[in-house]
Structure 1
């Protein structure tokens, strides 16, 4: 087990050159836009009206002119925080010498779901004494040229103009708004009584409505109630329920409404290594992540999310079939490979470049076919029925896999060199296995089944011949290599390896020995030590693999250690520095939180089986 620490006496680190450790941030969202709130009261990332929009606040990447929304005491304080139970509504408590004040942050929902505008509400409640506070609303350049905001005054009060976005402030009990040239600020001493309020309202290309303060206050409570109602439908009662629940809530906040596309993360360009160049935009929806998300939703009994996500995936795939793109926009459109650098933006802790867009959009990733067909198969196991059009799509994709599986690709890790990556081949095997399974279950009637069976068999033989290291007795990174890849642990999840297969056990041991970092952590593949942090989801894959292999005691110990590496409100990034547990990469990372749910539920299933329960599904019939 590795531990983490902070350098501030208030329980959080101090800013250095305007930057905070990523551990200090908490996510709030309305299933459309997102914001990251730091422990010192600064909203350093705010993307509205959609999480992939040009961010109104991006001090996370540029403390100077990126923009932020601040609200905090002006005197020394100690700070603690939590999410309100079963919500993504954040509560931060500041304790000063003169009093204690609680700030409740939410991206508000309306009575019937999403509001016609974006409403960031910051409710200020004094628990005792009195506390002097100051605030500011200062949008930034939005990572675009010419995006600097300006203040327009009119009879209804000051309006902030940031490109095609309009913002206004509702300030009640926190001091009179004082407009400047590019922002609005205020200050007041708050005391016990009716909660004070600071709210930021935003629209894009539409008129701007300014609701009454009391309406916004009421919506904070309604928003928390809406999240609690949703969370109470989650079906998981295992030993890691708090972490599973937090991961599910985080994933729901990252799921774009109304399409159901799930963002890889809320942010762009948070580095995999401080000062490094691997800084990518994750505000897209990956077929892979979506497949894992559908599995998670099925595990948790969330049938509405399961169907919505399946519809998004099928609509996206149908638009480009028989080709599959590795990811699409949150609206299900093909993403372009254009990746632009935001000029003049220093990047998180001077890690450049800052990217808008992702060049991997046009990569060939043949493992995605397996992810999509696996999602469809699991969907049918949760009482889903395929319609004729979807059946034809399955046939098209399975036939395409038969044609392309011998082609080198960019692999799971989206690498520049095309190779015969082992995980990609296993993904192709899974695609054909699931297509055959759907036909055997009566979900489709296709003349292609004999061919699919034949190619599935050839794939298994090819993988075992070309992607196996007889010396170390493990599956390798790619054909003809002795390098290791943590993604080969997914051989257990896909069913390519049964739990009692000796190849699974020896691959687990080889990956742990060759890719292990400190404690429970793993690097992605050979050669990454010192190049980036340990990749968190790989460690959760190890939990699953150990569980499938019947090594549940090891799996439980691994899971317990990993749960302790989340930040104080249960969030994970993409990676972590094994030396000091510093979080690295985009925040929060959907793939990591999906790993939490899958690993925890797989362990819970294994425990139930020990007590005589039945396995929910049985992949890998060949």
Structure 2
């Protein structure tokens, strides 16, 4: 491997680390191409991912040509990269350092290089970018050494035998040479609109080890010994990176504007918390016995709904406020495939499936042995009443399409909401007379069975009168709406039209617009298990497990032709779909 010339690497190249507030994407060559400060939804100070020339990055790599192997330290989100050159070998350990009592109040990226054989000369450079062409970085000399300031963020570099040597007007740089058993540390520390703590190098070195211990302690609390346990654990760790610890919100992805089509055009910002993703995440958190994260996510969701009510929104900002529109940024995008956006235009859409997502969260939470408070019970009763009326409307569907229709999966989501409302009412968790909810639940089922099944296609269709298919229907095998013959036949129809090997496109015609959607393939595995086709389910899971990158991270989409990653990453829905498919297969079959 040689140093890239244009700043762009394949999206499959990235590993990810985090500290509970922000994440860093690290390429195989050691380049940190994405690191927002102070939080993951901030404008990126290091954003070469979307702006190869001016986005800013943190580079650390051998001077001579090298080959690479990578892994996560077992049970952690600490990444190890082994560089091998003709002259020697060294191991780079990357961590966003956590403190004794949790995340640090500043961002601390620690990069430790241990020499293992021969001699390897490294060079490093820390160059904040233009924050997507909105600010200009500048270096300032202080009594404690140089810092770089940009858009309210202050960045400094500290190290252990890291060989600082300047870097120009807006960067810091240096070099060093490893030997067997040598140790060098480059630490990038930053804050936003607050004073900057300058760490002691020896403390940072210990902090890397402490961060490893903190992750491994969390992993020991993790309870899952079913099929694909290594992959499930890695996906759980990836999901943990997307839990925004200051509030408990769960980000849908860690990035913005990575294209779903390599030619660009379908570029979205997913650094928000979807109610849908909270619901799917809670399936996993509850199964894994992670009580703190479960309660934090539920509490965040209910508080946020109340604060922004009375209408239920499909997603919220990580701080619990409502999204404020879309801004087009003056940046070229990944590999020039713009546009680059902050914000998501789906915020004002009606998506009826959100009712099912919310009630699924509450049903799971209660089933795990928890009790709803009186205010939450009243809130849910009012939402159930709203679902009784709203299910008759057209909506944008799960895929946030401009074509408003009576989407089948949206109606199934309303059925799921009322089914859960009846159960919660019978358990004394929400008030009211469930008679109306029972009646409307049956009306919805009858409407779907009458209007949304196509004898010609032998499948549920995307919406009545259409012959198009929609893989979001697969979710309602696990929801319990249909685990019978019609769902099984729908699986076959979707495989035939939307399948490319184990991969599936989201809906009819999507193959001309985007890559195959990773989550859909795991939904297929889950649905196969739900209809009793276990051997096919296991084969589908095995095939999809093989399509992760070298460190087990999934993006939003995969190109079936060359298996290139597309879309934002790490993508919560992809990892959630893997986890919940594995859990479902284990529960149905008892496999281990």
Q: TM-score range by the shorter chain?
A: over 0.9
Q: Deviations over 1:416-454 (max 9, x none)?
A: 12111111111111111100010112212313x111111
Q: Does residue 77 of the first structure (1) align with residue 66 of the second (2)?
A: yes
Shift of 1:179: 4.1
Q: Does residue 408 of the first structure (1) align with residue 394 of the second (2)?
A: yes
* RMSD of aligned residue pairs (Cα, Å): 1.3
Shift of 1:19: 1.0
The equivalent position to 1:538 in structure 2, one of 490, 499, 520, is 520
2:247 aligned partner: 259
The equivalent position to 2:104 in structure 1, one of 96, 107, 115, is 115
Shift of 1:31: 1.1
Separation (CA, whole Å) in 1 of partners of 2:572 and 2:379: 27
Distance 1:528 1:223, change over 3 A: same
**Pairs within 5 Å for 1:292-311:** 292-311=280-299
Shift of 1:194: 4.8
The equivalent position to 1:97 in structure 2, one of 83, 86, 103, is 86
Q: Deviations over 1:380-411 (max 9, x none)?
A: 11011111011001111101111211111111
**Pairs within 5 Å for 1:118-267:** 118-145=107-134, 147-267=135-255
Q: Does residue 390 of the first structure (1) align with residue 373 of the second (2)?
A: no
Shift of 1:193: 4.2
Separation (CA, whole Å) in 2 of partners of 1:183 and 1:16: 19
Conservation of the 8 A alpha-carbon contact between 2:91 and 2:116: yes
Conservation of the 8 A alpha-carbon contact between 1:174 and 1:190: no
Shift of 1:56: 1.1
The equivalent position to 1:564 in structure 2, one of 546, 554, 579, is 546
1:17 aligned partner: 6
Shift of 1:49: 1.3
The equivalent position to 1:334 in structure 2, one of 305, 312, 322, is 322
Q: Which runs of 4+ in 1 moved over 6 A?
A: none
2:419 aligned partner: 433
The equivalent position to 1:555 in structure 2, one of 537, 549, 560, is 537
Conservation of the 8 A alpha-carbon contact between 1:523 and 1:533: yes
Shift of 1:98: 1.6
Structure 1 SS opposite 2:142: coil
Conservation of the 8 A alpha-carbon contact between 1:316 and 1:334: no
Conservation of the 8 A alpha-carbon contact between 2:160 and 2:202: no
Structure 2 SS opposite 1:56: strand
The equivalent position to 1:494 in structure 2, one of 470, 479, 483, is 479
Conservation of the 8 A alpha-carbon contact between 1:14 and 1:20: no
Conservation of the 8 A alpha-carbon contact between 1:321 and 1:397: no
Structure 2 SS opposite 1:178: coil
Conservation of the 8 A alpha-carbon contact between 2:381 and 2:432: yes
Structure 1 SS opposite 2:579: helix
Shift of 1:191: 2.4
Q: TM-score, normalization: structure 1?
A: 0.93
Separation (CA, whole Å) in 2 of partners of 1:58 and 1:574: 19
Conservation of the 8 A alpha-carbon contact between 1:275 and 1:349: no
1:526 aligned partner: 508
Structure 1 SS opposite 2:102: coil
Separation (CA, whole Å) in 2 of partners of 1:469 and 1:322: 37
Structure 2 SS opposite 1:31: coil
Conservation of the 8 A alpha-carbon contact between 2:51 and 2:132: no
Shift of 1:321: 3.0
Shift of 1:144: 4.5
Separation (CA, whole Å) in 2 of partners of 1:478 and 1:419: 7
Q: Deviations over 1:478-505 (max 9, x none)?
A: 12211000111112011111x3x21111
Structure 1 SS opposite 2:115: strand
